[in-house]
Structure 1
């Protein structure tokens, strides 16, 4: 049968065409026009052929380019998009709204007719009101229903649907708001082929997508490809043209305009807010921005409700785990105890029956297959991965004999509770025969003409399919709860099978079984835990730690172990660099503290046996520093020095400076114990902690068998060390930043502090900057360097720069105008950098400017 698998390979991110409701110009890093849409003449009066290869300043006012370059400084990551309102590209041109993003080495600018201010205010007010109402709505059904209604009111589309992706990538309309004349799509299911894989990937990168008119003739990009033969990547473009297959799909549905807003929960595409209109409809940038914000806030509210449900479920599981010791104490045998415990599982997992298979015997409660079927099923389960939860909601599809008892137990959740021989707790769910309403026959997703041309289906009438032999699906929450309970059961089995040893070595055996379990299941369990544990809050801990705080700290440590294991398992459990631990742990904190950690000395490879121990120590050092030490304040620094001694052991020193005054703790917490005792105990190394008032200093020795010096660094380590060891002249301790954009000024401050500057002064006007220079001169000190923005709104920094020149204070310019700005003759040779700047360009500027004096 013809299918739409070819759609998964269609390069929809590089169509080379654009919708006509806007104009696109792409420029290189030096602001030479590299691409333009063929309708650019309606914006600037020049054709695409006229402007490509020329500086953009030849066609657009320089103050507009300055504004755009300033806004580029705010972009973060490859998928960031910035927007500007009411821009006049030429003196007589009407106002435009502009969006900008980065595509490989190009800055992509998209211009649209500007929205009226009153319209913008009204739409923002509507979004605020809708979000306030949604935030107090409880229940998924009501939440989605209200969200669909609010989105329709905000955008004006004829139909708005909340579309949720299922486990098999099909999707179902779970909420709908529409005009009365339209056929309802509520509860219809759409096959996965309706939204190809690459389209779902783009929905993660670009959270809003408008198709203004399915009959839009579109315009082309000029040129089609760059000199390297590559087309412009339009993944983030709001104007990107639409796949012809999707256009035909919409026409078959009777849709003239559509818009999709991504629902992203915990980094994954949960679903879409899908909007349809029976006539062409162009939403301006202001309305699309409001719709995008609504989608983001709805995603957060949805995530919050799901987390509340998970927390409640976790509490139920914890209560069940806590009750196990009492159940075990009253049982006469191991299998009776396991059966008694397992009977409680049915309410947690919504099961219909439970079977315990232990030491070759089985016992059951509720609705289950017969004993012979259970024996055969266990042999099948023995072939699955060891020490892992196994779940299926369609036993007959994976185990042919299972069809015989699918009516009683179509769904199986298996918890292995021993290593060899295999013992299991089996939770069963009965068959859930149900009718699925498909939007058209899912077995005929396409049609073809003469066996050549593939087209999407034309029928969207409800197609009923009766699903049999399946139970309700097991959720990720079910799997997580099963994993949590299994650990408790393993402890219980150990206690029942060897009570005497348990009493003598209780604490040791608990630790050993948990460590053994983690080692066997590190690839799955730690990966799962890492994905579920939320980032810790950087608040000081009280002397009496609450249960919630304890769980938070424990979670962060397990997360650190997961990161460490990820690094060594990526290279087949072989040695991995020390710098990787440091970089990963520092980057796990928000605020970019990695830029304030300097690494000196040669990197080392750590053996897997030492990696987890060192990772925990680094984790505790970073955590303590970020909460209480040098990294808890912007000016704080950490220096990590790596070396070797005469025995070829690895030495590393952690030294903090610039933070709060340090006092030796009155008591040792678990974190301090990890820092001081882990390396000596686990690796037979050494650890020495000094609580100097100026900052904590920690010295460690790791035996040579666990660490090897890297003689030839690969590119990744070279890049890391290059960044961390980037330096500026030692004479520069105090820097003045004159910048009227607060975000850019903060960016400059962060970079300068990362370059070991002691103090950064920020001024937004020449008057404020002069007051800093004058007042500092009175105390016997001086400004060592000044970083000046050229344009400060109603004034420039040139007069102040000449004043600094007369005082002999080094300075340099950072300008959104790039090299095109006209500088007075006395300042023509002053070093300058173009915005957006980075650590490397500022470091180079400081070195060059001070060297010229």
Structure 2
């Protein structure tokens, strides 16, 4: 059993510090841990006697009746009820005194925390603050840059709470922080544009900032108040108070603040798209308590800033993505019109570099290497491609610090510190590689991040110096954006289609490989029995026809015959290319390739697919709603993206012409399954008539020009490959719901 009282914390283990069972609270309020059914006291903070006429030592086993009048107790019983996951605020009365009551459940017990009640600000001050907040929101929307929005935010927070220092702290991809805006009182040390290492806010603390978005330390130097007894007599273990409003901070964090000369803090999380983007960090040189109303105001301010950050990001990303798509279309059109793909790669006027912020690109294809821009030299590139073929297994790889994973890259870091790789063919060592140069950057740190203090006892202390310290950053490029990653993958997909179109001589070899794979795996899944007929009809027959056309042309080599033969040959090639695309998609799922499982953030998957389908959503005016109760899954990301894409695109594709499409995407957990569903109000399916062939290959149920009968088949294959199942419910003329359930 973990016991915080026996835990010696320092910088070497603070990321594992069990702060959830710290057993102490801050002294500006009191805590009661109660039996949920009887309201008997299981644990109590020692300072309750400072707020009520009672003694903490005699409360164990007593009900709240001993702390309240009969009338008060009757009201308490009505208020002290809530859902397991809920955290609620109630205003309650004990012994004639009013308190803010913060209420949540933990390990089956009821945790009640109380602060003295403070009336909302009234009169002229309240009117001025309300008016100022309204003005702040309007001004925030008018600012064009993120920095201007951040500066406006810190100014208003300081106006509202009158702290010595208010900083807006933004995380980078490595969880280092930078102060991008600041408002300080005269004489205070400025940290504007200073960086702080990720170790200052370790992973455990960042996770807490997502759950507890407003956190106050009213007096850094105040003596903590113990919860007695430390071991809960009902559970036999310390109580988990991680969601507590009053929980005392980590000792090492308090020491860190004292080293900064700070006596009071307020931190408000900035959460954008469900992720921790940054913090509004407020510091005061003297102890200072903020009442609930002001803490709530700060939370509203942070949320308003998070909303404009999200709006700013979406606007920028969509504009850039559309530019990339237009340029990719022009590039592919030129390549498609070239009589020879390899010649076209050398001669096209539009370049691969237009599809990224990269400064160099290399494409390995058909045993040749095509390059543009600033790249490693020939020998360096050959060794890098060899390393990629041996180490990149997921089809896509990107880093902004290549020398960290591939040591020889240090020799060419000025040209290529950033690398993005998308695989065309691992077997043939064919890849698309983008390069970004080393970013010449000087970072200003608040103290030297690598430097720690160690006592003679061996205890590693928080750093004591926050003086300006400059570091020249080497070996890193600017990060790869989501748009760059998506565009590169789309480009590779289109290149593969062109390669297949230009490699007719390899079709027979591919046919043999597919037949061989089919023979090996036919016992695994009866769906692979379809391959024999597909290959015989869709590949061999066109090849025979092409041979016949060739004989016909040789017998009648007139111009009119040539034009007809070429038109017919072109149609056959396009059909074969489409068939090969279908076969490749099916094989990727049916052949049981090794799947890479990872932690996947479901809102990101949904957002990505909605972006990919944005054109249809805008065209149809579709309304997409989400209710994601489960946000994280452990699964192959590419499968989840494919499944989500097929279900959402079908919901749009089979919309009703009589009403605006409405789509609901939900996720939830039931027993040992995680489920998600996509519901639409489209044309619906007659399940009684076609339900038995719903997931068959090439089965279609509506006369839609885009229907191929592949998406649902592929979705079922992928779901079952993950050990799950898919169900469908539908009413003709009303809509359809597809539900996917996977094992936890």
Deviations 1:307-332 (A, max 9, x none): 22222232123223322332113435
Q: Which residue in 2 is equivalent to 1:507?
A: 578
Aligned length in residues: 616
Q: Equivalent residue for 1:350?
A: 357
Q: Alignment partner for residue 466 of structure 1, among 447, 466, 472?
A: 472
Residue 502 of structure 2: SS of its match in structure 1?
A: helix
Q: 1:357 to 1:467 in 2, by over 3 A?
A: same
Distance in 2, matches of 1:690 and 1:235, equals 44
Quick check: 522-531 or 125-134, which moved more? 522-531
1:227-626 paired onto structure 2 within 5 Å = 227=233, 228-331=235-338, 333-338=340-345, 344-386=351-393, 388-444=395-451, 446-498=452-504, 502-516=573-587, 531-534=604-607, 546=616, 548=618, 589=664, 622-624=679-681
Is the Cα contact below 8 Å between 1:159 and 1:176 reproduced in 2? yes
Residues 585 and 714 in structure 2, CA contact (< 8 A), matched pair in contact too: no
What corresponds to 2:170 in structure 1? 164
Taking the aligned partners of 1:672 and 1:363, their CA distance within structure 2 comes to 37
Structure 1 distance, partners of 2:112, 2:672, is: 45
Q: Using a 3 Å threshold, how does the CA distance of structure 1 residues 68 and 137 change in structure 2: closer, same or farther?
A: farther
Provide the secondary structure at the position in 1 that maps to 2:422: strand
Q: Distance in 2 between matches of 1:676 and 1:178?
A: 57
* 1:170-196 Cα distance to aligned partner (Å, 9 max, x none): 211121111131121011111111112
Alignment of 1:117-196 (within 5 A): 117-119=120-122, 121-122=126-127, 126-196=132-202
Structure 2 unmatched runs, 5+: 1-8, 505-568, 641-662, 695-700, 719-726
The whole-number CA distance in structure 2 between the counterparts of 1:102 and 1:394 is 45
Give the C-alpha shift of residue 339 in structure 1: 5.6
Whether 2:22 is the aligned partner of 1:15: answer yes
Output the CA distance in 2 between the equivalents of 1:280 and 1:252.
15
User: Distance in 1 between the 2:151 and 2:342 partners?
Assistant: 48
Partner of 1:851: none
Q: 1:82 aligns with which of 88, 106, 109?
A: 88
Question: TM-score, with normalisation over the residues of structure 1?
Answer: 0.63
Q: Contact conserved, 1:339 with 1:364, CA < 8 A, in 2?
A: no
In 1, distance between residues paired with 2:217 and 2:28?
10
Q: CA deviation at 1:478?
A: 2.9
Question: In the superposition, relative to structure 1, how do residues 592 and 487 fare at CA in structure 2: closer, same or farther (>3 Å)?
Answer: closer
Check the 8 A contact 1:254/1:278 in 2, yes or no: yes
Give the whole-Å Cα distance in 1 for the aligned partners of 2:305 and 2:73: 35
For the residue of structure 2 that corresponds to 1:327, the secondary structure is: helix
Aligned to 1:88, what secondary structure does the other structure show? Answer: strand
2:64 pairs with 1:56: yes
527-536 vs 123-132, greater mean Cα deviation:
527-536
Contact kept, 8 Å, 1:161 with 1:176, in 2: the verdict is yes
Spell out, residue by residue over 1:703-723, the C-alpha distance to the aligned partner (whole angstroms, 9 max, x if none): xxxx9xxxxxx9x99xxxxxx
SS of 2:680 mapped into structure 1: helix
What is the Cα deviation at residue 125 of structure 1? 5.1
- Secondary structure of 1:505's aligned partner: helix
Task: Provide closer, same or farther for how the CA distance between residues 344 and 174 of structure 1 changes in structure 2, counting only shifts above 3 A.
Answer: farther
Mapped to 2, the partners of 1:342 and 1:40 lie a distance apart of 78
Q: 1:222 to 1:486 in 2, by over 3 A?
A: same
- Pair 13,524 (structure 1): closer, same or farther in 2 beyond 3 Å: closer
Aligned partner of residue 134 in structure 1, secondary structure: helix
Q: Report the Cα distance in structure 1 between the residues aligned to 2:499 and 2:466, rounded to whole angstroms.
A: 55
The 1:511/1:27 distance shift into structure 2, 3 A limit, reads same
* Residue deviations 1:442-463 (CA, integer Å, cap 9, x gap): 121x212214232111110111
What is the 5 A alignment of 1:684-699? none
Report the Cα offset of residue 477 of structure 1: 4.0
Residues of 1 paired with 2:431 and 2:666: CA distance?
46
* CA distance in structure 2 between the aligned counterparts of 1:414 and 1:590, rounded to whole angstroms: 32
Deviations 1:255-302 (A, max 9, x none): 111111111222222221111111111001111122122223322332
Measure how far apart 1:224 and its partner are.
1.1
Is this contact kept in 1: 2:421–2:434, CA < 8 A? yes
**For the Cα contact (< 8 Å) 2:263–2:287, is it kept in 1?**
yes
Residue 51 of structure 2 aligns to a residue whose secondary structure is helix
Q: C-alpha deviations, 1:49-74, integer Å up to 9, x for none? A: 22221111332356656656656666
User: Does the 8 Å CA contact 1:163/1:271 hold for their aligned counterparts?
Assistant: yes
Residues 148-172 of structure 1 show CA distances to partners (whole Å, capped at 9, x for unaligned) of: 2222222221111111122222211
User: CA separation in 2, counterparts of 1:357 and 1:667?
Assistant: 42
Kindly state the Cα deviation for residue 97 of structure 1 after the two structures are TM-superposed: 1.9
Answer whether contact 2:600 2:637 (CA < 8 A) is retained.
no
Q: Give CA deviations for 1:598-643 in whole Å, capped at 9, x if unaligned.
A: xxxxx999xxxxx9xxx9xx956x434xx7999xxxxxxxxx99xx
- Change in Cα spacing, 1:234 to 1:132, as seen in structure 2 (3 Å) is farther
SS in 2 for 1:421: coil
Residue 44 of structure 2 is matched in structure 1 by: 36
398-407 vs 674-683, greater mean Cα deviation:
674-683
Residue 44 of structure 1 aligns to a residue whose secondary structure is coil
C-alpha distance in 1, partners of 2:324/2:405? 29
In the superposition, the TM-score normalised over structure 2's length comes to 0.72
State the 1:378 CA deviation: 0.8
RMSD over aligned CA atoms reads 4.7
Would you say the 8 A contact 2:169–2:180 is kept in 1? yes
Taking structure 1 as reference, are residues 549 and 37 closer, same or farther at Cα in structure 2, changes over 3 Å only? farther
Contact map agreement 1:502 1:509 (CA 8 A) in 2: no
